[in-house]
A and B are shown apart, each in its own frame.
Chain A
Amino acid sequence: MSGIQLRVWGEYACFTRPEMKVERVSYDVMTPSAARGILEAIYWKPAIRWVIDRIHVMKPVRFDNIRRNEVSTVVPLSGKAGVNAAMKGGTNPVRLFVEECRQQRAAMVLRDVEYVIEAHFEYTSAEDRNDGKHLDMFNRRAKKGQCFHRPYLGCREFAAFFEPVSGAIPVSPLARDTARDLGWMLYDINYAADMTPFFFRPTLENGIVDCRKGGVTA
């Protein structure tokens, strides 16, 4: 038994759909990859890998629109204006002037979200196999509110609060709704295989997204 249950919540969330990421549009619910990121923010080691089993959606799905000024470019590494040139003693300013590379981007984000993440871990190698140790460390940290870094709901400006679920997971208020096809969603990204995205097609049934049904590679 290597499973954990964690309640996470926050005022905003944006689990960006990859097909609509210029002007961000969030998925209806948290993706397994975002849930994994939250667990890793609390406890992770190279010896283990978090696998998300189910995501309970505890609040109705609601959207809100926010437009912000953002920059349109990234820090160049090479080239005359890049960091490497500056490190060698260049005299060009290594700066982004926000007025010159400004773009306004809208984001369709989720409001007032709450989830219960059910997950377990698997081992990545023969080393450090000790169920009790990893579980205890995770649960201890979750209970004390400790984290490696502050977990977030899709984007770092949407911070996540968390606490362990004691006892049975409460029934989602969405449990009475009819099952809903959520369409193709990002499952996770395979970093070992050149950042290949994996997708799956879940349904929101009884207020629960079951992530255990197999995904496909794009």
Chain B
Amino acid sequence: MTALSNRYEFVYLFDVENGNPNGDPDAGNTPRIDPETGHGLVTDVCLKRKIRNYVDIAKSGAEGYNIYVAEKGVLSLTRQPAYDTEEVKNLKKKEDKVAAARQWMCRNFFDVRTFGAVMSTTLNNCGQVRGPVQLTFAKSIEPIIPSEVAITRMAVETEKEAKAQDGDNRTMGRKHIVPYALYRAEGFISAHLADGDKGTGFSDKDVELLWQALANMFDHDHSAARGKMSARGLIVFKHRDALGNAPAHKLFDAVSVSRTGDGSGPARAFGDYAVAVDEAGLPDGVDVDVKF
């Protein structure tokens, strides 16, 4: 597989309906909120987790598509087949061994190749892999107002509770939901971290798989907490050169999301928003590809 030779930026839009896209462990698992503006947040690691899970399902252990940072629940196979034997034993120097191990990890594991991984040894720090794909926090287009929904369970966990309730046997729980929100995430792919001896070998094929993951990952992540989440937009900017042909902020500015109609009242569906890409105003050397 040849490594990537173009820089990319991308804008990714997804929405949630009556669900919690990303709970805040600091706030009793309520949806994350920017305390200054009230906008909802979804962390970069949350999205990366879903990309990993999707690739794990889609490729299900195919060679070169292992997932290093695995979530146990989705794992179908916990034992990997024996790997190709390598000539590591011939390498005498520690640096060579670390370099060989780094390359091997990149070759075999999609997430190491894409996002990087820390492979630190006790002696030195040279086993770090920096991946070409970088995501930032996703932010909702408008401030969100999460609501707390109280729910009951017609059973109790322990006998002691049952006695205390004289056999009434009910527990109350709560769910935190966002009635509706459209989120916007922005991402970067640096070709130079894919290419060359020190590069991870992240290829054009891997980019396609990444787009595929972004398109489909929410369809494989349904749960009681998430509600209805869908990928709504993926706008890819492809630079002609590896170094890039335009500042990233100018490309991101070309994608605007606005309210349709008079915009009064809360948005409750994707149809309440309009996404526009200013293709005419784009700098030279950058191709825009609206994937969906």
A residues contacting B by CB (< 8 A) are 11-12, 62, 64-71, 74-75, 77-78, 83-84, 86-100, 104, 106, 111, 141, 144-150, 152, 156-159, 161-163, 195
Contact = CB atoms under 8 A, between A and B. Distances in A.
B69 A146 contact: no
Interface string B98-110: 1011001100110
Contacts of A77: 97-98, 101, 119, 121, 127
Interface of B: 24-26, 32, 34-36, 43-45, 49, 66-73, 75, 78-86, 88-89, 97-98, 100-101, 104-105, 108-109, 117-121, 125, 127, 130, 132, 134-137, 139, 186, 188, 190, 192-193, 241, 243-250
B88 A111 contact: no
Max chain A C-beta neighbours (<10 A), residue from B32, B72, B101: B101
Given A11-B137, A161-B247, A93 B78 contact: yes
A164 to B, nearest CB: 10
24 contacts: A74-B120, A75-B118, A75-B119, A75-B127, A77-B101, A77-B127, A83-B104, A87-B86, A87-B100, A87-B104, A89-B82, A94-B105, A95-B70, A97-B70, A97-B71, A97-B75, A98-B70, A147-B244, A148-B192, A150-B190, A157-B43, A157-B44, A157-B135, A159-B188
A12 B135 CA distance: 13
B186 to A, nearest CB: 7
A87 B101 contact: yes
A91 B80 contact: yes
A91 B77 CA distance: 12
